[in-house]
Amino acid sequence: MTVYLVYWTPENISLCERTSGWSMSCWGSKLENFSTHWKKGDVAYFINIDSEGHSSIFGKLTLEQFANSREEAEQIIGRPLTAAPFNQYWIGEKPWLKLHDVDCRDLLMTLTFKSGNKLKEGFDGRSFQAPRPLTEEDAQAVEARWLAFTE
């Protein structure tokens, strides 16, 4: 199992907030290797960094099942994905959570990631253009932060 930080833009978050019944049920992508790069049991923590630099973890998804089409994903999760521009999705384990706002900028500055590279002061969303895999210690710290604010 690998744990990742995945960035969503403020526009993505706004869309979630405006979508009735939205939950962190699935993750869609246009990446060619989306079905093979990630594996069942991998965990994605979704983060956002707004224009003022506020960083938050807003969702967590433990990957359960891959859907090869929007229609298949919609059937599994029981709601339309019409606003999402993707044709492939990882479906998460239940329960599917609503949006959260777990402050994490200080935590992000302490992570070394599997690459061994820490974030630099003033980082923004460009630092997360690709999902970033976490070390085991980083993953434990992120999970501890998540649980402190969501349970």
Distance (Å, whole) CA 88 – CA 124: 27
The residue type at 120: K
Cβ neighbors of 31 (< 8 A, separation 6 or more) are 37
pLDDT along the chain (151 residues), means of 10: 93 84 90 92 95 91 96 93 86 94 95 94 86 96 96 80
pTM as predicted = 0.93
- Buried/exposed 88-106: b ≥16 CB within 10 Å, e otherwise: bbbbbeeebeeeeebebee
Distance CA 135, CA 60 (A): 17
Per-residue pLDDT, 139: 98
Task: Check residue 50 and give its pLDDT.
Answer: 85
Determine the distance from the C-alpha atom of residue 83 to the mean position of all C-alpha atoms in its chain, rounded to a whole number.
Answer: 17
